[in-house]
Each structure stands twice: as C-alpha cells, then as structure tokens.
Amino acid sequence: MEIKRENILSLQIDNESDVGVCRRKAVSLASQMGFDEVKTGEVAIMVTELVTNVINHGGGKGKVVICQFRDAQNHKAIEIWCCDSGNGISDFQKSIKDGVSRKDSLGIGMGTIRRFSDEMEINPVYDSEFRDTFFSGEPRYKHCIRTLKYVPNKHRITTNNKLEIGAVSICKPGETFNGDSYVVSHINSNVSVASVIDGLGHGREANLASQLAREQIILKSELPLDALMQHVHNSLRGSRGSTIGLIRLDTETRKIAFTGIGNIESFLISEEGKQNLLSFGGIMGHNMRTPRVFEYDFNPGDSICMYSDGITTRWKFEDIDWTEHPQKIAETIINKYSRLNDDATVLIIRYTA
C-alpha cells in the first residue's frame, strides 16, 4: 500500500487570529480521525505552538497544511506541515530544549511540539505531487517543520501465553524521570516483539527519547526488525537519541530474531548455556549503522535476558538461579547489580510451553 493523504486543509498564516483558526481546524480533523480527548488536546497544543512560532519567529507569514495520513502499513496519523518565511532553525538539537528562545518568551514551544509528535522533521524532502499542489509558487516559504501523530491502535488486544515475563526499570537515584524503558508487544498469540531502550544520559530528555522509541515500537511492531529499527531511528531524529536491543520471538517456529544498536546487553539461555546476542555501535536518531538481524533457535525452557548499562558488568551469569520466575530474577539483578549513577533496566522472557 502506498502513502495516502486525505481531508487536506491548507491554511494561510498572516496574523495572530490565524492561531485559533488553525487550531480549531486541526482539532476537528483529529476528532473525526478517532483521537481521544487527551490526544486531540495534544494536537491542539502542537498546532498552536507551530503557528505561534511562525508569528513570533518565522517572519510573521506562513502556511499550515493539515491532513489525514496513511502510511504503507495502513497506520493512520494526522500530518502537519508548517512553513514560514523566517531565517530557519540554526541548531535543531538546542531548539527543542525547554528554555531556549531567541525572543522574550518561555522557550517551551519546540520542545512541546517534539514531545507530542511521533515523528518530527525540519525541512524534509517534499513529495513532488504534494509540493506542486500546496507549495508551488510560494518561494517565500523557505523553512518547514513536518510532524506526524498516529491514531492509537485500540484493536490489537492479545497475549502470548507461552511466555513468562519479568521486568524492572528504575531511574538514577535522585532523578524524577527514567531515561530507560522497555516494552513487550504481542502481535498475536505466537509472535511478540520486545525491547530494552536507554535514552542517552538521564533525566527528562533521556526519558523523552526512550518513550518516543517505546511508542514507535508498539505502533509498528509488525514490521520486519530491520525496518522497525529504521523507523525508530527516523522517529528519534531531533531527540537526545537512544541505544536499543530489539527482539522478535516466535513460539510457533521456535525462533528468535535480534538486532541491536549501542550498549544494551542481551543473551540467550538454553540447554547449551549462555549465548550473547550481537549488537553494533551507534546511537539511534543520530548515527545508526545499517541494522543487522541475527536468528537463533528458541525452544521451551529457553530464556532471553536484556539489560541497560545501568547494570554493572561485575555480575556473573552463574550467580543467578535461572529456574526462578523471570520477575524474581529481574528484581535480584536490579537490587544487587544496578549502578548508583545511571538508570537501570532488566527484561527477562522465558519460553514456558
């Protein structure tokens, strides 16, 4: 299926009254598309900040294009293009941090837009047909921001009863925000995708990066692992970035597939002992190498252990009783071997049947 755009709204930005007009149009479309009240409110904030940015920082003139977007996997999203005649954003990484502003304002707009977007791009490549339809003859619009916010998938409610799962994730002592996260997404009763994610550093920006990655894994978990990694990488552009270990478990074929970028440690435990799962260097959202996917046998009784670098390297595989429930094992590892200067996450999955 090809990318498809519907219900396209093209709105000029000329003065402050256009902020309310654009917001109301976006809210109406978001409600029609199936966003709940909370997510519709986030769309309203995004559009308000985008249009206000044009008025205050983008030369005072611009255009917003809002539409219903369907990607190649038939996922539905609201897509927002906001273009202006200003001087552009010289440092995107800096601009999305709260408190950064070139004028007398709180400087929270760009950071808010990034947090509420599933994808965000600065000056993306235009689709030729889209450009010719909505931006031809508009040379004064020199700079654009494109955002996507997907409609949550409420229909996939399933589990894989052949898997036992244990997980613990804690933030660095003294921090409020956890820069680590994990996810287990069941595609059907036999196939699941799981991941441990470590946002770079710790605190709020690391938390934003890890949660963005987590949400995108849930949203697109049916993709092949290499394509899913590429999607997450693209979604994290402009964020702090993260490292990720990503695995697909199939209890019907009794196989697992694994790919990783960065220092998430992962290994398979089977009758033959411990087998490390290979990751490659890089940072998701910044400098990811081409993902490589490795396949392994996964039989009843086998377990997967994945953990972030908030777990010290001083612990030994032999010190753990791997016959205990995965939750008990995860708690033991966290309690005994987590560092005091970082977030820490452990995820353990056992094939029981």
The CATH code of the domain that includes 214 is 3.60.40.10
| 191 and 311 co-located in one domain | yes
d(C-alpha 251, C-alpha 271), whole Å? 17
Of the given ranges (93-97, 143-147, 206-210, 268-272), which has the lowest mean pLDDT? 93-97
Interatomic CA distance for residues 146 and 154, integer angstroms: 25
pLDDT at 109: 56
Does the structure show a pLDDT above 90 at 322? yes
Q: What's the domain range around 227?
A: 163-351
Burial class from Cβ neighbours inside 10 Å (0-12, 13-18, 19+) for residue 154 reads exposed
Sign of CA dihedral 103, 234, 212, 283: negative
Do 191 and 317 lie in one domain? The reply is: yes
| Average pLDDT, integer, range 67-71 | 92
Q: For residue 155, is it within any domain?
A: no
In a domain? residue 157: no
pLDDT averaged over every residue in the chain: 86
Residue ending a domain, choose from 124, 150, 176: 150
Q: Indicate the residue among 150, 180, 202 that finishes a domain.
A: 150
Count of structural domains, the chain: 2
190 and 110 co-located in one domain = no
- The least confident of 137-151, 162-176, 236-250 is 137-151
Percentage of the chain with pLDDT > 70?
Answer: 87
Query: Do 39 and 168 share a structural domain?
Result: no
Rounded Cα distance, 244 and 137, in Å: 43
Half-sphere exposure of 180 (CA within 13 A, CB side): 26
